[in-house]
């Protein structure tokens, strides 16, 4: 679309500069003036996408890189966007602009550093001693919180989100309004960029949050007793007890504390009668409007993740896939081991069993395997402890990049441990490996000096393999992934050896001319 003053510029004026990327301005105002009304839409915001800011700071990208998730920056230079997305020849100028870009990024709230990392940590200043963590976290509704840490001696705190876009939303929200907590105005800034540890990332992908759900509580369980029992895992923000339902929600100040709590209580005999699992983080109630809107039809989403680019179907590849089966009408006395003994046809990504509801959700690595198992179960049936199971579809789900890469390299939910000693019994292995996740089955082969630990999820097995390599008593042993027995082919009823003798081979019937010969042939045929 032409501007109103385009016709006033002659072609000779356009050709004054040989470089087509450096056309003269049509107005005397600065390019960025038109975006001055948007305080956070700076042309240096393009430095927030995950590349070296020194390389991209010299690009004049006032619009296409601002305030969007990096993978949705469709006109960024990694996608060969518009002509200004290429560096100029003046490296000295680029170096100077790079320094200005870093300062502008910090001033405009992008949270980006020159190393290309995007910050997910918010700095909170003027936090007085009278302010409790709950007083601040009750104002957070922008995304799942990874940790909250207070520094009383400096009157500040650090709020770390799981997703950098959640931190960006929090920053933008309180740049336009003040955050007042107990009559104190909290100062908002950016913390240092940091990466989530690999093991913690796998736990988060597996559903871990900082909220721990406790079910089947008794009248003796109060907020004080729960506080005393769970305080050893880490600082607690809030305990919400719902007495009429006999449940409670415990919000820790970090996800890693909640992971330790769930792993420990699930293997604690004192908590065997109670239900322990992860709940929903109340800080992540609201949906991210940027990701929710841009993730609908983004043809560049798969290209940003390293997959092939298809402008027509590329946006469907990263969406949730139907890979989970629902098992209902399970035998009341069945265990998770019994269910896995009955499943065949493909390796499991995760299995979740709810004995009190007699249901289970079995997730496979790919949709084709889940579809094949579904068809087989509905055609021939699936029985667990002599009772037929009702098989249906669960909710669509996605697989994290870390787990997908590990599975491609041979990861399963089964851990092989070689060169074990006689002291490594099934009870000892269960105590040592239960901290990494729920265990489905442990097999110890004393004659071969090895053992197999089967977890209920692949992510737990990945954590266990990495943790056992640095654990005392297991560092000298052979550790690797074993074979998932659920990946074996389906059992087929083969005919017995005696049955082969009773089935005669098909022969050509001789040409019979008399009735006596015909009767004799029929008799031999019946008694063959």
Residue-wise pLDDT tens for the chain (528 aa)? 455 454 444 555 545 444 545 444 444 444 444 444 444 443 334 344 444 443 344 444 444 444 444 444 444 433 444 333 334 444 444 444 344 444 444 444 555 554 456 899 999 999 999 999 999 999 999 999 999 999 999 999 999 999 999 999 999 999 888 999 999 999 999 999 999 998 898 889 888 999 999 999 999 999 999 999 999 999 999 999 999 999 999 999 999 999 999 999 988 888 988 999 999 999 986 544 444 443 333 444 433 333 444 443 344 444 568 999 999 999 999 999 999 999 999 999 999 999 989 999 999 988 999 999 999 999 999 999 999 999 999 998 888 888 889 999 999 999 999 999 888 899 999 989 988 889 999 999 989 999 999 999 999 999 899 889 888 888 889 999 999 999 999 876 655 555 555 555 555 554 444 444 444 444 444 444
CATH number of 198-284: 3.30.70.330
Tokens 């290209």 correspond to what residue? 303
Q: Which residues of 222-370 form beta strands (DSSP E)?
A: 236-242, 247-252, 275-278, 324-328, 348-354, 359-364
Backbone angles phi, psi at 350, to 5 degrees: -165, 145
Candidate CATH numbers 3.90.640.10, 3.30.70.330, 3.40.50.10780, 3.40.50.2000; the one for domain 402-487: 3.30.70.330
Q: Are 171 and 111 in contact (CB under 8 A)?
A: yes
Return the closest-CA partner of residue 210 out of 254, 266, 247: 254
Task: Classify each residue of 285-295 as buried b or exposed e, where b means 16 or more C-beta atoms within 10 Å of its C-beta.
Answer: eeebebbeebb
Q: Which CATH superfamily is domain 121-190 in?
A: RRM (RNA recognition motif) domain (3.30.70.330)
Tokens of 386: 């002599």
Whether 198-284 and 402-487 share one fold: the answer is yes
CATH number of 324-399: 3.30.70.330
CA separation for the pair 72, 49 (Å, rounded):
9
For the chain, the structural domain boundaries read 30-108, 121-190, 198-284, 324-399, 402-487, 497-526
Backbone angles phi, psi at 47, to 5 degrees: -70, -5
Tokens of 273: 């009668």
Tokens 């298809």 correspond to what residue? 310
Q: Are 165 and 70 in contact (CB under 8 A)?
A: no
């Amino acid at each position: 679309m032409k501007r109103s003053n385009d016709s006033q510029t002659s072609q000779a004026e356009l050709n004054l500069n040989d470089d087509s990327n450096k056309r003269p301005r049509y107005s005397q105002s600065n390019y960025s003036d038109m975006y001055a009304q948007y305080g956070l839409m700076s042309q240096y915001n393009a430095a927030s996408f995950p590349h070296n800011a020194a390389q991209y700071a010299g690009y004049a990208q006032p619009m296409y890189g601002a305030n969007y998730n990096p993978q949705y920056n469709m006109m960024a230079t990694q996608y060969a966007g518009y002509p200004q997305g290429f560096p100029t020849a003046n490296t000295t100028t680029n170096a100077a602009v790079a320094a200005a870009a870093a300062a502008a990024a910090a001033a405009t709230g992008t949270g980006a550093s020159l190393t290309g990392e995007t910050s997910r940590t918010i700095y909170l200043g003027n936090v007085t001693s009278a302010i409790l963590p709950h007083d601040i976290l009750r104002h957070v509704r922008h995304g799942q919180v990874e940790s909250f840490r207070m520094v009383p001696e400096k009157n500040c705190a650090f709020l770390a989100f799981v997703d950098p876009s959640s931190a960006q939303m929090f920053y933008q929200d309180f740049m336009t309004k003040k955050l007042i907590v107990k009559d104190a105005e909290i100062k908002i800034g950016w913390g240092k960029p940091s990466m989530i540890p690999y093991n913690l990332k796998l736990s988060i992908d597996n559903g871990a949050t900082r909220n721990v759900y406790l079910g089947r509580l008794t009248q003796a369980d109060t907020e004080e007793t729960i506080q005393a029992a769970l305080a050893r895992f880490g600082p607690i923000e809030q305990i919400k007890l719902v007495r009429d339902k006999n449940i409670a929600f415990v919000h820790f100040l970090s996800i890693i504390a909640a992971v330790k709590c769930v792993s420990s209580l699930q293997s604690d005999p004192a908590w065997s009668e109670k239900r322990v699992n992860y709940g929903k983080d109340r800080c992540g109630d609201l949906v991210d409007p940027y990701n929710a809107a841009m993730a609908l039809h983004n043809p560049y989403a798969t290209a940003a993740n390293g997959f092939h680019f298809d402008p027509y179907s590329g946006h469907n590849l990263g969406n949730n896939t139907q890979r989970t089966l629902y098992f209902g009408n399970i035998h009341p006395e069945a265990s998770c081991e019994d269910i896995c003994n009955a499943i065949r046809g493909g390796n499991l990504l995760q299995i979740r069993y709810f004995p009190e509801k007699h249901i289970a959700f079995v997730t496979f690595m790919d949709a084709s395997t889940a579809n094949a198992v579904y068809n087989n179960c509905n055609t021939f049936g699936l029985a667990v402890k002599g009772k037929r199971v009702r098989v249906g579809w669960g909710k669509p789900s996605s697989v994290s990049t870390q787990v997908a890469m590990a599975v491609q390299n041979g990861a399963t939910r089964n851990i092989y441990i070689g060169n074990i000693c006689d002291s490594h019994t099934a009870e000892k292995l269960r105590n040592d490996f239960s901290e990494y996740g729920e265990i489905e089955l442990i097999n110890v082969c004393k004659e071969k000096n090895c053992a197999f630990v089967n977890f209920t999820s692949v992510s737990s097995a990945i954590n266990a393999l990495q943790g056992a390599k640095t654990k005392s008593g297991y560092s000298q042993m052979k550790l690797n992934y074993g074979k998932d027995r659920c990946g074996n082919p389906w059992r087929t009823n083969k005919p017995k050896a005696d049955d082969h003798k009773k089935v005669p081979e098909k022969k050509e019937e001789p040409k019979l001319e008399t009735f006596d010969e015909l009767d004799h042939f029929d008799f031999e045929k019946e008694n063959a």
